[in-house]
Chains A and B, each alone.
Chain A
Amino acid sequence: MIYGERIRLRAVEKPDLPHFVEWLNDPEVYDGLLIHNPLSLTEEEGWYERMLMRPAQQHVMAIDVKQGLADQGETVWRMIGSLAFDDIDWRNRAAELGIMIGDKSFWNQGYGTEAVRLLVDHGFNTLKLHRIFLHVFETNPRAIRAYKKAGFIEEGRERQAEFRGGRYIDVLRMSILRSDS
């Protein structure tokens, strides 16, 4: 597992899937994601099987928040979202980052920023990447702010690249280089 201050990143387990399905069917959550159709648990289970076929470095990880200690002194964790590197290009040492904070009660408290920082650190210092980039809809200022705080720079604006809510919106592309961090 990969530990941060308030969070940790761990492998996704099957019992996580119903939580993902709940989040991915929440309009406020999927407005920021590439999903636009209702998603069933069966589809999500299919996604999980395919995800496990990907190289280990590209497996999706669950974001857990530290909740305090249980009676027996064990740390209690609560899953609030997931994140991953997609399409690692080893020759160019570049990867795309994707993240979702699905539990809305944890929005606007810096958890997204902390999770992005932790994955970026993993990308540069463990996977030896050179460049990490991401796409974000212009309609998602919360995410854009988090990426900027984590050190990402806006490097492009893909004009009218996404059709949502009856109109075309721009998709921003942001990146961080090993030399930036």
Chain B
Amino acid sequence: MIFGERIRFRGVEQADLETFVRWLNDPDVRRGIGLYLPFSSTDEQEWFEKMRQLPPNERVMAIESVEQDPHGQETWHLIGTCGFFNFDSRNASAEFGIMIGEKAYWDRGYGTEAVRLLVKHGFNTLNLNRIHLRVFETNPRATRAYEKAGFTHEGCQRQAEFREGKYIDVLVMSILRSEFLEPGP
């Protein structure tokens, strides 16, 4: 497992899928991601089987947040998922995706912390040079989290996505190894 301050990444288990289906059918969650159709448990099971066949570095990870109960015991709660895809080994670059599906954890810095942890994993363990992402212009919460985690705006794919009756821009952001190792002022 990969540990941060308030969160950790672990492998996805069969028992997580039910929660994923609930998130992926929530319009507030879906608005920020690539899905736009109702999503069944069967769809999710198929996704899980396919995902497990991917090379280990490209498998989706579960994000968990730690809480202390009144007795001081630590418990972990599933709050989202993240992972790299579109690995380009020759160019040492990869794209990543993240979803904080549990809305009670929105606006509390968990997304930013998860992005920072994933970026650290990408540069320090997977030996990447460049990490990039795409985000809808209609998703300022996510854009702000990426900015806080050190990502730079490098492009705007004009009217690249059709949602809710109109074309919207898709922003492209990236962070380079040199920016991660030697953060600017």
* 9-residue interface stretch from B25-33, B101-109, B139-147, B159-167: B159-167
Cβ proximity bits B135-172 to A, threshold 8 Å, 1 near / 0 not: 00000000000000000101111111110000100001
CA distance A85 to B142 in the complex (A): 31
* Chain B residue with the shortest CB-CB distance to A93: B162
The reply to whether A158 and B162 contact each other, CB–CB distance below 8 Å, is no
With an 8 A cutoff between CB atoms, is B68 at the interface?
A: no
CA distance A151 to B174 in the complex (A): 27
Q: Within residues 83 to 97 of chain A, which ones have a CB less than 8 A from any CB in chain B?
A: 91-94
With an 8 A cutoff between CB atoms, is B21 at the interface?
A: no
Q: Which residues of A contact B91 (CB under 8 A)?
A: 161-163, 168
The reply to whether B92 and A158 contact each other, CB–CB distance below 8 Å, is no
With an 8 A cutoff between CB atoms, is B176 at the interface?
A: yes
The reply to whether A159 and B130 contact each other, CB–CB distance below 8 Å, is yes
A interface list, Cβ under 8 A from B: 36, 91-94, 130-131, 133, 153, 155-163, 168, 173, 175, 177
- Show 30 residue pairs from A and B whose CB-CB distance is below 8 angstroms, ordered by the A residue: A36-B90, A91-B162, A92-B162, A93-B162, A94-B160, A130-B159, A130-B167, A131-B158, A131-B167, A133-B160, A155-B155, A155-B156, A158-B154, A159-B130, A159-B152, A159-B176, A160-B93, A160-B129, A160-B176, A161-B130, A162-B91, A163-B90, A163-B91, A163-B92, A168-B129, A168-B130, A173-B157, A173-B172, A175-B158, A177-B158
